[in-house]
């Protein structure tokens, strides 16, 4: 049980992190007996809607309200505290902190109007890395990492991009990839050579084989009655958080 609506979860180093909306961020120890004692809590004056904790778990990235990214220091999980706050032009409507790190150090977050910003987590204190991809992103877009490069699903274009991290050219000049007759839209996640994209608004789930990234092959495409969020690998299958449809397991 959580203190408020549970919007997102993350797991790292036997710690469970829950974004609890107006109740903030809770941190719980995962015990072998199946209990989850609360060991830390972080509250702000705005709701926390998303949390990611990249390995090795030094920092948590959280979405605060509808416009602010905060990065929290987790050196003492009982007392998490912000060490970076950033707000850019545009809004954070949904899960706009990307999954995965480039070079095991660069994390990202995008704002709808101004695009994708990258943050260096390698030091004792995180900082904006001075890397910005100026691409208009909507709520049916997202960022993952594949083969140590950004993989950007851009809903308005219906395709994905794979720029170099330090790419400076406009996206209009870059190649993009997709499936003829199918608009790619939603939040991406990558496991092995499979790209899974879930669109919360339409319920669409798309699975692509991207072992040849410039020639993606469609594996599955279906529509759920729920509102799917980020898809997570689990054992021999994958988990789909599907809103009021519940948590689905697909083998």
pTM exceeds 0.75 for this model: yes
Residues 176-189, mean pLDDT to the nearest whole number: 97
Please write the tens of the pLDDT for every residue from 12-23: 999 999 999 999
* Alpha carbons 199 and 228: distance in angstroms, whole number: 6
Residue among 155, 182, 143 at smallest CA distance from 61 = 143
Report residue 163: phi and psi, to 5°: -75, 160
Q: State both tokens at 154.
A: 């851009």
DSSP per residue, 97-115:
BPSS-BTTTEEEEEETTTE
DSSP 35: -
Q: State both tokens at 172.
A: 């209009």
Determine the pLDDT at residue 42: 98
* Alpha carbons 131 and 128: distance in angstroms, whole number: 8
Q: pLDDT class for 1, splitting at 50, 70, 90?
A: confident
Q: What is the CA radius of gyration of the chain?
A: 18
Determine the pLDDT at residue 239: 94
Determine the pLDDT at residue 209: 98
Residue among 113, 173, 142 at smallest CA distance from 151 = 142
Residues 191-196, mean pLDDT to the nearest whole number: 96
Tokens 């400076």 found at:
168
Determine the pLDDT at residue 213: 97
Judged against a pLDDT cut of 90, whether residue 188 lies above it is answered with: yes
Q: Is 173 helix (H, G, I), strand (E, B) or coil?
A: helix
* Alpha carbons 7 and 20: distance in angstroms, whole number: 6
Residues 158-166, mean pLDDT to the nearest whole number: 97
Judged against a pLDDT cut of 90, whether residue 99 lies above it is answered with: no
CA 74 → CA 10, 20, 86, 185, distances in Å? 13, 18, 18, 33
């Amino acid at each position: 049980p959580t203190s408020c609506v549970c919007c997102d979860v993350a797991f790292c180093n036997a710690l469970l992190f829950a974004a609890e909306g107006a109740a903030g961020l809770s941190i719980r120890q995962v015990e072998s007996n199946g209990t989850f004692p609360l060991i830390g809590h972080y509250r702000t004056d705005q709701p926390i809607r998303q949390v990611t904790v990249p390995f090795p778990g030094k920092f948590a990235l959280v979405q605060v309200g509808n416009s602010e990214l905060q990065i929290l220091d987790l050196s003492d999980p009982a007392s998490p505290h912000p060490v970076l706050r950033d707000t850019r032009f545009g809004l954070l409507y949904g899960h706009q902190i990307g999954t995965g790190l480039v070079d095991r150090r660069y994390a990202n977050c995008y704002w709808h109007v101004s695009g994708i910003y990258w943050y260096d987590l390698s030091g004792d204190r995180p900082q904006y890395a001075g890397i910005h991809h100026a691409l208009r992103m909507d709520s049916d877009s997202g960022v993952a990492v594949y083969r140590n490069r950004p993989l950007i699903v851009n809903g308005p274009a219906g395709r994905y991009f794979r720029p170099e991290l330090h790419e400076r050219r406009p996206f209009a000049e870059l190649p993009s990839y997709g499936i003829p007759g199918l608009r790619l839209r939603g939040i991406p996640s990558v496991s092995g050579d499979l790209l899974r994209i879930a669109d919360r608004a339409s319920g669409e789930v798309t699975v692509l084989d991207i072992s040849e990234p410039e020639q993606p092959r469609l594996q599955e495409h279906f529509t759920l009655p729920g509102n799917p969020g980020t898809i997570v690998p689990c054992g021999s299958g994958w988990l789909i958080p599907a809103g009021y449809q519940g948590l689905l397991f697909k083998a």
